[in-house]
Chains A and B, each alone.
Chain A
Amino acid sequence: MNIANNKLLTLFLVFFKVGLFTIGGGLAMLPLYRQEFSEKRDWLTDEEMVDIIAMTQSLPGVMAINSAAFVGYRIAKVRGAIIAALGAILPSVIIILAVGVVYASVFRNEFVVRAFRGVQCALAAMIVAAGIKMIKNTIKSVFAAVVAISAGVWIFFDSTAIIYAIIAAAAAGGIYFGLKRKDRPAPNNKDGEAGA
């Protein structure tokens, strides 16, 4: 095996591991990223690590895949990016297929159904709590509060409007902050991250 292939194999395996250990996902994974990319290997500087976080939070998509594309490209161009992303996706596909195959038969069992009624309560609590925890970092201005509440109310009354609500919020941000005076520092310049 030549060196180039070896590099690609390493990329694949590292991101397979990232995909495998991303439980829930998002920023909780940063210690693993640091360990794999900057401590064990000289793949990323601390500054690039910050760039990854900033970028994944300003682009659509899942952090594990986005960081795979970013790091893979650094290491071995487009080929590296593809290999790394496939490595990150593969654990999900394997594990979920295994679960999916037995889902229908397992959920005929009344114990499983009851157990999952319990989990559904925790899931609802987890997602509402995740949203509430994001308020502190994200809702720092009247503008942000108005956008968050309007989007929430709109989506609550019309669940098919999700994409329109996001587009409207994007437009509102572009227009509101675009019209604001540049020389006057706005209190919400440091609007935090919405990543989860």
Chain B
Amino acid sequence: MSGLLELIAVFLKISIFSFGGGYVMIGYMQNEFVSRGWISANDFANIVSISQMTPGPIGINAATFVGFTTEGYLGAVLASVSVALIPFILVLLVSVFYDKYKSNKVIQNILKGIRPACVGLIIIVGVGFFETAAMNGGGFKEFFAGEAFFDIKALILFAVSFVVLLKTKISSIWVMLASLAVGVFLF
């Protein structure tokens, strides 16, 4: 990675499009840092897991962690500030003109397009982590080419976690802590 300036630029760019909050931000980071080979898919999945399980918003935690991994202490501080900067300025501008903003039809129409796209995006981000966690030799594309295959134990743990999260009110932090313990014995 060619330094702090590029790190700052990437996080500024990510932040502009981070409608829908933390998970959407995670999707951009996955694309920017994993797809380009700056962080391995496995390390990135661990970084996001830790970001979810530690105090602090997951988007800021992950930005700090990615910044630290790629550029050390300064990278950590600059990444977390960069990812917050543009939304921060937008909030200040909008809170001054809030009533005009709230009733602006064009903005509301644009948001009606962005919101459903965020849902599709978040599900695909989850599918990406599924490929890292529960598939060997690649992802679904490789699976259909006959090159990748499922890890049955991981598949079961995924399925159980998924059903618990979708069907019960048990908080995701407990599901993650439980799977942390299960993982030691299962794998």
Given A93-B80, A96-B61, A116-B183, A131–B68 Cβ distance below 8 Å?
no
| Contact call B154/A117, Cβ cutoff below 8 A | yes
Q: Is the CB of B180 closer than 8 A to any CB of chain A?
A: yes
Contacts of B125 in A (CB 8 A): 127, 131
Could you mark each residue 88-129 of chain B with 1 if its beta carbon is under 8 Å from any beta carbon of chain A, else 0? 101110110010001001111111111111111111111111
Given A54-B102, A62-B25, A122-B176, A151–B184 Cβ distance below 8 Å?
no
Q: Which residue of A lies closest to B130 (CB)?
A: A124
Given A22-B55, A118-B180, A134-B122, A162–B110 Cβ distance below 8 Å?
no
Contacts of B45 in A (CB 8 A): 116, 120, 123
| Contact call B120/A60, Cβ cutoff below 8 A | no
Q: Is the CB of A70 closer than 8 A to any CB of chain B?
A: yes
Q: Is the CB of B158 closer than 8 A to any CB of chain A?
A: yes
A175 to B161, CA, bound (A): 40
Q: Is the CB of A45 closer than 8 A to any CB of chain B?
A: no
| Contact call A147/B117, Cβ cutoff below 8 A | yes
Q: Is the CB of A138 closer than 8 A to any CB of chain B?
A: yes
Q: Is the CB of B186 closer than 8 A to any CB of chain A?
A: yes
Given A25-B21, A69-B92, A151-B116, A58–B158 Cβ distance below 8 Å?
no
Q: Which residue of A lies closest to B129 (CB)?
A: A124
Could you mark each residue 146-167 of chain B with 1 if its beta carbon is under 8 Å from any beta carbon of chain A, else 0? 0000000010011101100110
Contacts of B83 in A (CB 8 A): 62
Given A123-B49, A162-B121, A59–B91 Cβ distance below 8 Å?
yes
Q: Is the CB of A169 closer than 8 A to any CB of chain B?
A: yes
A195 to B112, CA, bound (A): 13
B54-93 interface with A by 8 A CB criterion: 54-61, 64-65, 68-69, 73, 76-77, 80-81, 83-84, 86-88, 90-92
Given A62-B84, A95-B56, A173-B114, A100–B65 Cβ distance below 8 Å?
yes
| Contact call B115/A138, Cβ cutoff below 8 A | yes
A95-110 interface with B by 8 A CB criterion: 95-97, 99-100, 103, 107
Binding site for B on A (CB under 8 A): 19-26, 51, 54-66, 69-70, 73-74, 78, 81, 85, 88-89, 91-93, 95-97, 99-100, 103, 107, 111, 114-135, 138-139, 143-145, 147-153, 155-156, 159-160, 162-163, 165-174, 176-178, 188, 191-196
